[in-house]
């Protein structure tokens, strides 16, 4: 019986990819902090997870990060006159939280790989 | 690859903010450059930023400086007949630079620049830890 690496690693590689994608979107929001008319975007991670869980029937979850529908527009707390919806404080907080989540997913993947290595070595 | 895109996005933002700092430096330096002719007087310069939608999903956008425009605010007129540059009516035109507004703009620009430097630094650590994947 062979080891299916995709199944063995579970949802974590997909979560890691989604976190990296979200980093890019948040970096773009921070970059366009002073661009008039720029509308901040974000991924709803929980919704993406739920949607793929509902679609999927064969156990492992797969997150679809390709579709443009995944990146939604942020609703600003205080709309500004120039039409820019970036609020630097919340973007920085989201960016910081997201990079911690990235490290968490990375740690999970590492743990899975260590487990697999042990199984392969037969310890 | 996502991380290269992030570097490009943050880099474009840093570039745009340094153009903004450049215009601010120019405005502050020329805040007192008087002239006897209205059209020849220095006008405050302002950069115009726009988002660049780099990929088809449109979820990650860099910044570009579309243009640097001159402020249309009225110039400051001063009646100084002794001034060597005064015209025949004794009027000297001073630039329409608002020093206080320029100073606050400078703070905003340098903060925005620093934020993007921080983004780059954080992404670098993320990428480095990703390179160590599977090492233990």
pLDDT tens digits for range B73-91: 999 999 999 999 899 899 9
Give the C-alpha separation, A120 to A60, whole Å.
22
Which residues of chain A make contact with B17, given a CB cutoff of 8 A? 34
Give the C-alpha separation, A122 to B67, whole Å.
65
pTM of the model: 0.81
How many Cβ atoms are within 10 Å of A20's Cβ, its own excluded? Answer: 23
CB nearest A35 (choices: B5, B49, B56): B49
Q: Does residue B102 or residue A62 have the better pLDDT?
A: B102
Give the C-alpha separation, A90 to A31, whole Å.
14
Cβ atoms of residues B9 and A31 within 8 Å: yes
CB nearest B51 (choices: A24, A32, A103): A32
Q: Cβ of B133 and A113 within 8 Å?
A: yes
- A49-55: list long-range contacts, CB under 8 Å, 24+ apart: A49/A11
CB nearest A35 (choices: B2, B51, B115): B51
Reported as a pLDDT band with limits 50, 70 and 90, residue A65 is very low
Bin A67: left if φ > 0, else alpha if -120 < ψ < 50, else beta.
Answer: beta
Q: Cβ of B61 and A28 within 8 Å?
A: yes
Q: Which residue of B has its CA nearest to A116?
A: B134
Reported as a pLDDT band with limits 50, 70 and 90, residue B22 is very high
Q: B82 to chain A nearest CA, in Å?
A: 43
Q: Does residue B57 or residue A73 have the better pLDDT?
A: A73
pLDDT tens digits for range B32-72: 999 989 889 999 999 999 988 766 555 668 899 999 999 99
């Amino acid at each position: 019986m062979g080891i299916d690496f995709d199944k063995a690693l579970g949802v974590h590689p997909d979560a890691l990819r989604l976190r990296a994608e979200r980093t890019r979107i948040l970096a773009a929001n921070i970059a366009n902090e002073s661009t008039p008319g720029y509308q901040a975007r974000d991924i709803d991670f929980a919704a993406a997870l739920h949607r793929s869980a509902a679609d999927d029937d064969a156990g492992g979850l797969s997150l679809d990060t390709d579709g443009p529908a995944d990146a939604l527009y942020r609703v600003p707390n205080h709309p500004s006159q120039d039409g820019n919806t970036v609020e630097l404080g919340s973007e920085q907080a989201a960016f910081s939280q997201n990079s911690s989540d990235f490290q968490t997913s990375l740690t999970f993947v590492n743990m899975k790989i260590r487990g697999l290595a042990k199984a392969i070595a037969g310890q | 690859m996502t991380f290269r895109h992030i570097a490009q996005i943050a880099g474009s933002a840093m570039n745009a903010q340094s153009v903004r700092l450049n215009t601010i430096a120019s405005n502050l330096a020329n805040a007192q450059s008087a002239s006897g002719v209205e059209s020849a007087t220095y006008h405050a310069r302002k950069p115009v930023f726009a988002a660049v939608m780099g990929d088809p999903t449109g979820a990650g956008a860099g910044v570009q400086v579309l243009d640097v425009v001159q402020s249309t605010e009225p110039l400051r007129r001063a009646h100084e007949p002794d001034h060597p540059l005064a015209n025949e009516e004794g009027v000297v035109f001073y630039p329409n630079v608002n020093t206080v507004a320029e100073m606050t703009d400078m703070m905003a620009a340098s903060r925005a620049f620093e934020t993007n430097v921080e983004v780059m630094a954080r992404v670098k650590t993320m990428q480095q830890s990703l390179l160590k994947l599977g090492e233990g």
